[in-house]
Amino acid sequence: MLVSDHGVSEFRLFQKDTFPMTRFCLPLMALLIGLTQPLNAQDAKTENTGWKAGVARAVITPDEPMWMAGYASRTKPSEGKVQDLFAKALAIEDASGTRLVIVTTDLIGLSLEFRLWLQEEAEKQFQLPPAGLLLNASHTHCGPEFRPAKLALPGQDQGRVDQARKYYEFLQQKMLALVGESLKNLQPAKLGYTHGRAGFAMNRRLPTDTEPRNAPYPDGPVDHEVPVLKVESAAGELKALLFGYACHNTTLAFYQFCGDYAGFAQQDLEAEFPGVTAMFITGCGGDQNPQPRGTVELAEHHGSALATGVKAGLLGPVQPVDGKLSTMIDTVTLEFAAAPTRQELEELSKSTSDYFQRRAAKLLKQLDENGKIDQTYPYTIQTVSFGDDILLVALAGEVVVDYSLRLKQELKGRAGAVWVSGYSNDVFGYVPSLRVLNEGGYEGRSAMLYTTLPGPFAQSVEDLIIGKVHELAEKVTAK
């Protein structure tokens, strides 16, 4: 910019100059005009990008002890916090006024019910179209349990349900206000894309003679990429860092509120770059765990490794992001395999597990009321393109790593960078690839027992999702 500013001021100096135009001056003028034209053109590209960006944040740590999400084996409510939990919003607007608001949260996951409420309110109050709202959860297992579906356990203490409902409503208002605030904060901005790597995510589907066991599997597939969206003011001041990683946020399993490794990564980056909003977006980490795990020190260590991955990315070439924003959101109807029979459900209802009893009760109710069990699920897929530079695919549910590895290959060439996230818009359960489905194990089959869905998924699950992603990716990248 210095060179370019210099060129511009030199040129202006000559324009104002009373210096007589001699034949000696003319070649110099021509040289300066020649110099300033390309520099001005470059100036327009990097300084006046047409982008606007705005950020906002809110603390969402419950202010009283609450039951926590993520592990079915918990026996008591939370006991204090290690760090605050946050919801953060990044609003982006292109030159034509198309807008996107990405909201990241230190939470286990947001339900479809939550998303539908928020998108409706955001459209009503801020004219933000549904395709312009992207919600993601870090899937920390040290946050509050507030999902309505998880609270309908038989014999559940009503006080616990009421408290969760109150938190749910608090979160609705907080996140709606956050979306509005981020849009209000829109200012001219520059966007850049880069990526680094971090190595602590490990596949957790250890092969055995029968089904894979939930245990570290260092030879299994992983996605160690750390994609980074860098947001600066028009003047080049760093404003926000949005970064992703494909790994369960499960270093910790205790009774204090904490963002786990993703919380520490955000904290590290915000300490290193004062005034910056660091935001974490979860990738396809359904079958990935941080390793090793179990202590706050390890969570801090992984957080620091992830923050280092972001900083390493910033050292490399940062691709300026140009062009226009395009967003799409749609659902594809996923199919489940054969539904459990009445007899199987009656058997399940005798289980000692609250979760299994709840599942049996819900599905038996469907059978009684409708004569059949609903065999489909409306699966949400969102795609966002930032000109030719980034294609972002946001998938619902706990998506296994096969999806990001496959989609990054298949969508290569549609944009400079392909960024695939899971845990977006509706975190309802695991989303296995065909391989994982057929191998079985937790993510393939047994995790479904903790939901009220009539899973496992049918063999069509991967084809249906991938097919829809291609359709929506094509739409947002069409010229």
At its nearest, how many Å lie between Zn ion and the CB of residue 398? 5
At its nearest, how many Å lie between Zn ion and the CB of residue 201? 13
**Any residues with CB less than 8 A from the CB of 69 and at least 6 apart, and which?**
107, 108, 109, 141, 143, 144, 145, 146, 147, 150
Which DSSP helix (H) or strand (E) runs through 314?
Answer: helix 296-315
Instruction: Tell me, by CB under 5 A, how many residues bind Zn ion.
Output: 1
Closest to Zn ion by CB, 140 vs 383, is: 140
Give the integer Cα–Cα distance in Å for 277 and 299.
Answer: 20
At its nearest, how many Å lie between Zn ion and the CB of residue 455? 15
Closest to Zn ion by CB, 139 vs 468, is: 139
Task: Single out the segment in contact with Zn ion by CB under 5 A; choices: 28-36, 166-174, 377-385, 394-402.
Answer: 394-402
Which DSSP helix (H) or strand (E) runs through 296?
Answer: helix 296-315
Q: In the stretch 52-71, what mask flags binding to Zn ion with x, by CB under 5 A?
A: --------------------
Q: In the stretch 340-379, what mask flags binding to Zn ion with x, by CB under 5 A?
A: ----------------------------------------
| Alpha carbon of residue 24 to chain centroid | 61
Closest to Zn ion by CB, 71 vs 342, is: 71
Q: In the stretch 203-242, what mask flags binding to Zn ion with x, by CB under 5 A?
A: ----------------------------------------
Closest to Zn ion by CB, 58 vs 247, is: 247
At its nearest, how many Å lie between Zn ion and the CB of residue 190? 36
At its nearest, how many Å lie between Zn ion and the CB of residue 449? 14
Location of structure tokens 């065909």? 434
At its nearest, how many Å lie between Zn ion and the CB of residue 356? 18
At its nearest, how many Å lie between Zn ion and the CB of residue 447? 8
Closest to Zn ion by CB, 243 vs 430, is: 430
Site for Zn ion in 396-415 (CB under 5 A): 398
Of all residues in the shown chain, the one whose CB is closest to Zn ion is: 398
DSSP alpha helices (H): ranges in 148-295?
148-151, 158-184, 260-272
- Is 287 in contact with 296 (CB distance < 8 Å)? no
- From residue 111, alpha-carbon distances to 2, 80, 133, 321, 453 in Å are 49, 25, 14, 31, 14
DSSP alpha helices (H): ranges in 206-295?
260-272
Closest to Zn ion by CB, 150 vs 239, is: 150
Task: Single out the segment in contact with Zn ion by CB under 5 A; choices: 90-98, 111-119, 391-399, 405-413.
Answer: 391-399
- Is 49 in contact with 190 (CB distance < 8 Å)? yes
Picking from 329, 335, 347, 349, the residue whose alpha carbon sits closest to that of residue 459 is 335
**Any residues with CB less than 8 A from the CB of 12 and at least 6 apart, and which?**
none
- Is 100 in contact with 92 (CB distance < 8 Å)? yes
At its nearest, how many Å lie between Zn ion and the CB of residue 249? 9
Closest to Zn ion by CB, 144 vs 192, is: 144
- From residue 67, alpha-carbon distances to 79, 128, 162, 165, 232 in Å are 10, 33, 12, 12, 39
Q: In the stretch 66-105, what mask flags binding to Zn ion with x, by CB under 5 A?
A: ----------------------------------------
At its nearest, how many Å lie between Zn ion and the CB of residue 152? 19
Closest to Zn ion by CB, 93 vs 287, is: 287
- Is 226 in contact with 306 (CB distance < 8 Å)? yes
Task: Single out the segment in contact with Zn ion by CB under 5 A; choices: 271-279, 351-359, 393-401, 432-440.
Answer: 393-401
At its nearest, how many Å lie between Zn ion and the CB of residue 285? 8
Task: Single out the segment in contact with Zn ion by CB under 5 A; choices: 75-83, 254-262, 355-363, 395-403.
Answer: 395-403
HSE-up (13 A, CA, CB side) for residue 404: 33
What φ, ψ does residue 207 adopt, rounded to 5°?
A: -65, 145
Chain contacts with Zn ion (rule: CB under 5 A): 398
